[in-house]
Amino acid sequence: MLSDIRDFSEKEIRQAVLQKANPKNINKSGKHWKGYIFIGDTLVSKIKIPNNHNRVMKPSKSQYICRDLRLEPNQFNNFVDCNMTGSEYYRYLNSQL
C-alpha cells in the first residue's frame, strides 16, 4: 500500500488539501495546522495539513493524510495530481457514508 503512494512535496499536498478538501475550523496554532472535513453537518474526518515546504513528503508520512482523506493510495495520487476535483472528492466521500 505504501509503495502505491507517490512522493509529493509538502506544498503540493497542502495546496490540494486546502483547495479540494476545503477543511473547516482550521486550527493554525502549533507546529501543523489541523482542520475538519464535513459533509453537511456530519464530521467526516480530522486532517493534519502539511506545512508549506518544498521538501518531499515520503509515502511513510503521506499515508496518514491519505487515510484522513479517506482515500485509497491511487485516489490520493489523483487527488494531489489534480486529476480529481474537489467536487469529485466530495461526491466520493458522500458515497462512502
**pLDDT digit string, tens, across residues 23-55:** 999 999 888 899 999 998 999 999 999 999 899
User: Residue 3 pLDDT > 70, yes or no?
Assistant: no
The count of domains in the chain is 1
Report in angstroms the alpha-carbon separations of 74 from 14, 25, 28, 90.
18, 28, 29, 16
Where do we find the cell 486529476?
83
Picking from 35, 95, 40, the residue whose alpha carbon sits closest to that of residue 71 is 95
Bridge partners of residue 42, in order along the sequence: 39
Domain boundaries, position 50: 2-96
As a whole number, mean pLDDT of residues 11-16 equals 95
In contact, 47 and 35? CB cutoff 8 Å: yes
